Amino acid sequence: MSWFKLNRSLHRDIGYFCIGMTLVFAISGIALNHIHQFNSNYQVTRTSHTIPLSGVDIETDEFESTLLTALRLEDKIKARFWQDQTTYKLFLEKDTTLYLYPQQNEVLIEQVKPRFLLRQLNFLHLNEARAAWMWFSDFYAILLIYLALSALFMVKGKRGVLGPRGLLVLAGVAVPAAFIVFYSS
Amino acid sequence: MKAVLAPIMMIGTLVLSQAALAKTYNGGADMSKLIPISTLLNDAQKYTTEPVTIKGTVTRVCQKRGCWMQLASDKKFQTLRVKVRDGDMVFPMTAQGKTAFATGTLKIHPLTLKQTNQRRKAQNLAPVETAQVLHLFAPVAVTIED
């Protein structure tokens, strides 16, 4: 097999192998770029309820039981905390927090749910798994370098990078270079 | 068939990995150095160089990047923020209400009067006339227990 055919075969097969990782990094990359506009890790829902609280001793088991019944929550309270002098927090087992505002007779229910798939993709992108994933990511990066360089030799002659299509390669280099020139320093 | 199975297996593995999200960071906190948060804050300067472990209920977590979490002190209304550089550790929002242990040192950041009152305004507190000091705990290892 000539080096040209070998290169094309390797480019194709490594390309297939990289599809999964590329999707992981591409999708999570968009999600993390826009995390200030859209929380791709968690879905946080808040609902407000008016419940008589003023004058009630809210630091008792009886009150907590009554409150959960009134809010129709089948859950257990695992921790309690005075956030400040006007806000009392009750943490429930199932990723739910109750904010009690006795002066306003208000209870805010905050429920946190990890987003399906996006949370896991971000987990990988931010390397929360640490060591093993880091080595695998390095391996993937090396494969991407190979894909980029081998692409230069996929087509011979003027139909390849030696022809007008070479301008596409230059454009791909020019864009990041322009960002460095205009935005760095 | 194989073409369908591969992505399904990949997604399944990723979703199952949710259950395996680490609850310890850098090997977990050193429980032999445990002191109350109120003790740490009472002698803040001392603990800027001496590593200790603190314990508290997680009351808030950075929603977007998980780069900080707030721990409740043993003293009423007192809290301490455990802060890491983005990506060093990622604290899950689902840690709220759980007990966390963090080993590290205290960082003291003097605030200007303007910064002090901006922070107090965000916390719905009345403005003050003197600048305050911000305490942040920089952990090297963390354990979050259910």
Kindly list the residues from chain A whose CB atom is less than 8 angstroms away from the CB atom of residue B11.
Answer: 117
Task: Say what the pTM is.
Answer: 0.78
> Measured between CA atoms, how close is A28 to chain B, in angstroms?
13
A108 membership: H or E segment, kind and range: strand A106-114
Determine, yes or no, domain membership for B118: yes
Confidence tier at A157 by pLDDT (50, 70, 90): confident
* B8 CB within 8 Å of a chain A CB: no
- Model confidence at A69, in pLDDT bands (50, 70, 90)? very high
**B81 near B70, Cβ under 8 Å?**
yes
Give a yes or no: residue B15 inside a domain. no
CATH number, domain of B38, equals: 2.40.50.140
In a domain, B4, yes or no: no
ipTM of the predicted structure? 0.74
How far apart (Å, rounded) are the C-alpha atoms in residues B49 and B42? 15
Between A126 and B103, the more confident residue is B103
What pLDDT sits at residue B5? 59
- In-domain check, residue B11: no
User: CA A97 to CA A78: how far, in whole Å?
Assistant: 10
Of A36, A112, A114, the CB nearest to B18: A114
The CB density around residue B53, as the number of other CB atoms within 10 Å, is 20
Would you say the C-alpha torsion B121, B125, B130, B135 has a positive or negative sign?
A: negative
Cα separation, B80 vs B54, in Å, equals 10
Whole domain around residue B67: which residue ranges?
22-144
Q: Is B14 inside any structural domain?
A: no
Whole-number Å distance between alpha carbons of B20 and B133: 38
How does pLDDT run along chain B (146 residues), one tens digit per residue?
Answer: 555 555 556 555 555 544 444 479 999 999 999 999 999 999 999 999 999 999 999 999 998 889 999 999 999 889 999 999 988 899 999 999 999 999 999 999 999 999 999 988 887 778 899 999 999 999 999 999 97
Distance from CA of A80 to the nearest CA of B (A): 8
Q: Residue B8: inside a domain, yes or no?
A: no
Q: What does each C-alpha distance from A76 to A71, A97, A144, B59, B99 come to in angstroms?
A: 13, 11, 49, 17, 16
Q: A130 contacts in B (CB within 8 Å)?
A: 22
Task: Please name the member of A35, A120, A130 whose beta carbon is closest to the beta carbon of B14.
Answer: A120
In a domain? residue B16? no
Chain A, 126-145: which have a CB under 8 Å from a chain B CB? Answer: 126-130
Above pLDDT 70, what percent of chain A? 99
Of A36-40, A104-108, B84-88, which gets the smallest average pLDDT?
A: B84-88
Using a CB-CB distance cutoff of 8 angstroms, which residues of chain A are in contact with residue B93? 41-42, 44, 95, 112
Instruction: State whether B15 and A123 contact (CB < 8 Å).
Output: no
What does the pLDDT read at residue A126?
86
Does B93 contact A44 at a Cβ distance shorter than 8 Å? yes
Q: What's the structural domain count of chain B?
A: 1
So what's the pLDDT on residue A167? 95
How much is the pLDDT for B21?
A: 46
Please name the residues in contact with B66: beta carbons below 8 A apart, sequence gap of 6 or more: A41, B89, B90, B91, B92, B93
Tokens of A6: 């070998």
